[in-house]
Amino acid sequence: MELAAEGHARILAAPAGLGLSSTIMSESPAVSRRERLRVFLRGNGRQILFWLVLFGFVALGLQRHWKGSVIAASVVLWGMLTHIFGVVFALLITWVGVFPIAGPIIIKLLTWPLFLLINGAAFFTSLVGINIGKGRQVFEARVAATILMTGVLIGFLLGKLF
């Protein structure tokens, strides 16, 4: 019976493409609450652990009266290393994109300025760098920004295709 319940829960579990998975709440009564919790924790255990470490670090920093900038920089670094903010942002974007007509428009309004912001930051950095005689570093920064924007564009196109 347990194997049948586990197979049933796997069928109802959403794909874990972003590192998170969720189960459909209207499962049959044969699957117990404990079984659903076990399946949820198996799919999301790492992300929950990462968030708990993050909250614990922030609480420790606040308790010990560390500078806010140190706490914020550490949170950003931890988020970049574990990709937990990317998962949350992707889930929010997906949730907003589900709404008919307005959802895709909102998504385009959120993502296009980010693309322009990256390009604009690289442009102004180039201007400052050229003025102080750092031409080689400017060239390398522009190449890195172009590669980043190309990757974003390719990801956008692949997302539209699949």
Enter the pTM of the model.
Answer: 0.43
Q: Would you tell me the crossing angle of helices 102-131 and 84-97 to the nearest 10 degrees? A: 140
> For the segment 23-41, what is each residue's pLDDT rounded down to a tens digit?
454 555 578 888 888 888 8
Run of H or E residues at 101: none
Contact 46, 18 (CB under 8 A): no
* 3-state secondary structure labels for all residues of 28-52: CCCCCHHHHHHHHHHHHHHHHHHHH
Run of H or E residues at 159: helix 135-161
> For the segment 75-108, what is each residue's pLDDT rounded down to a tens digit?
888 877 777 777 777 777 778 778 888 888 877 7
Could you give the C-alpha distances from 123 to 31, 118, 139, in angstroms and in order?
57, 9, 11
So where are the chain's domains?
A: 1-98, 101-162
